[in-house]
Structure 1
Amino acid sequence: MTKNNEEEQMKKENNENSKIRTNNEAEPKVSKNNLSIRKENDELKERLKDLENKILRALADNENLRKRHEKEIQDNLKFSIKNFAFSLLGVADNFQRATQSIPEKAEEGNELIKNLLIGMKAIEKEFYDSFEKNGIKKFSSIGKKFNPEFHQAVSNVNSDLQEGFIVEELQAGFMIDEKLLRPSMVTVSTGQKEKKIENDKESSE
């Protein structure tokens, strides 16, 4: 082998060794770059997750706030209707008392009183129809057990009904949206007639 050939062979070997060293040196750099990119990706994912949670919390807070405002508006509306309806109950009561105060036979042969009574009853009916359209309903109490949550006892009387049952309703009670608007004023039975009959039977025996 000539000297020139030997030199060329050595150059080739040196070049190959240089390439190997370059590749070996580049591998750690690539590996470090990959680790850095992964770390940045993980950090970005964490930030996105945190941002997503914050957005979801903000949306939930806004939804709760919206519902709370809607409830406040509805409550205020119901409160306004309740106060207005309560003030109208007195008017309806007066119409009822006025119609009840007219004797049954007064309209016989008197066209004026008859027409007046018809008109008053029609107005009274319109009152109650308007109440029902707005969730206000009258409830019946006669013959039912006295309940202090719905009834206001004005007096007690002897009657054939059992003790604690309602004999007479002096003023009607009303509900609004399943809540009490006004209790009914009632007369409650003491059950004395029933007891007296039992005592009389025992005495006769």
Structure 2
Amino acid sequence: MSDKEPTNFLDDLAEAEAEIDAENDVDFSDEELELDALRAERDELRDKFMRALADAENSRKRSERDRKEAENYGGSKLARDLLPVYDNMKRALEAATDEQREVSAALLEGVELTMRELVNTFKKHGIEPISPQVGDKFDPQTHQAMFEAPVPDTKAGDIIQVAAEGFMLHDRLLRPAQVGVSSTPG
């Protein structure tokens, strides 16, 4: 009997230890699983937060860029509509003869002052003239060729006549300068 009792006791002890280990492993693995789930949820929430923060920053930058663009270029339609007024005033001043200048000096002076005020207002709002000269090289980025003609003593691509000035609104082309261009003399 004494042989069986210790074996039984040892078997019982081993069984009890196995049960305790199994209970601890289950509890430990449940806690571990819960901890892993919480970590995964934390990481997911951190990722969502970082994405929301990046989206907010991108929206702020986009709205700032849109605001600046609206400030700089929002009046481009009005500016484009005022360019014919500038052209007509310039033509009126150029068409006046010396005799007309003597008779209507006050009127022409008023037109000149109005023209200067218009030019100053253009400059104040970032509108700058493009004033090519006869003999300059044609630039398709800022000039529009209205016609092409062979002219002696010129090179192909030289400006031979300026029909209308062009204008830039800050760094954008508002209207190209309208020019006549020399073709290769025949």
TM over 0.5: yes
Q: Does 1:55 align with 2:26?
A: no
TM-score, normalized by length of structure 2? 0.70
Q: CA deviation at 1:38?
A: 4.0
Q: Spell out, residue by residue over 1:110-134, the C-alpha distance to the aligned partner (whole angstroms, 9 max, x if none).
A: 5x51x33232222212212222222
Which amino acid is 1:99 matched to?
L
Q: SS of the counterpart of 1:145?
A: coil
Contact 1:157 1:187 (C-alpha < 8 Å) held by counterparts: no
Distance 1:168 1:105 in 2: 27
Please state how far the C-alpha of 1:159 moved relative to its aligned partner.
4.8
Alignment of 1:122-161 (within 5 A): 122-142=113-133, 143-155=135-147, 156=149, 158-161=151-154
Q: List per-residue Cα deviations over 1:56-110 (Å, max 9, x = no partner).
A: 21232333344445555555666641111110001111111111111246435x5
Higher share in helix:
1
* CA drift at 1:54: 1.0
Code of the aligned partner of 1:186: V
Report the Cα distance in structure 1 between the residues aligned to 2:110 and 2:183, rounded to whole angstroms: 39
State the 1:181 CA deviation: 1.3
Mapping 1:35-50, distance limit 5 Å: 35-50=29-44
**How far 1:45 sits from its partner (Å)?**
1.8
Bigger Cα Rg = 1
Alignment of 1:174-185 (within 5 A): 174-185=167-178
Q: Which runs of 5+ in 1 are unaligned?
A: 1-23, 196-205
Distance 1:144 1:33, change over 3 A: same
Give the AA of the match of 2:79. Answer: A
Residues 97 and 157 of structure 1, relative CA distance in 2, 3 Å threshold: farther
CA distance in structure 2 between the aligned counterparts of 1:159 and 1:82, rounded to whole angstroms: 40
Structure 2: give runs of 5+ residues left out of the alignment: 1-16
What RMSD over aligned residues (CA atoms) do the two structures have, in Å? 3.4
Work out whether residues 151 and 186 of structure 1, in 8 Å CA contact, stay in contact via their aligned partners in 2. Answer: yes
TM-score, scaled relative to structure 1: 0.65
Instruction: Answer 1 or 2: higher relative contact order, Cα 8 Å, separation at least 6.
Output: 2
Structure 1 residue 33: Cα displacement:
4.8
Q: Give the fraction of aligned pairs with identical amino acids, expressed as a percent.
A: 33
2:95 aligned residue (92, 101, 104): 101
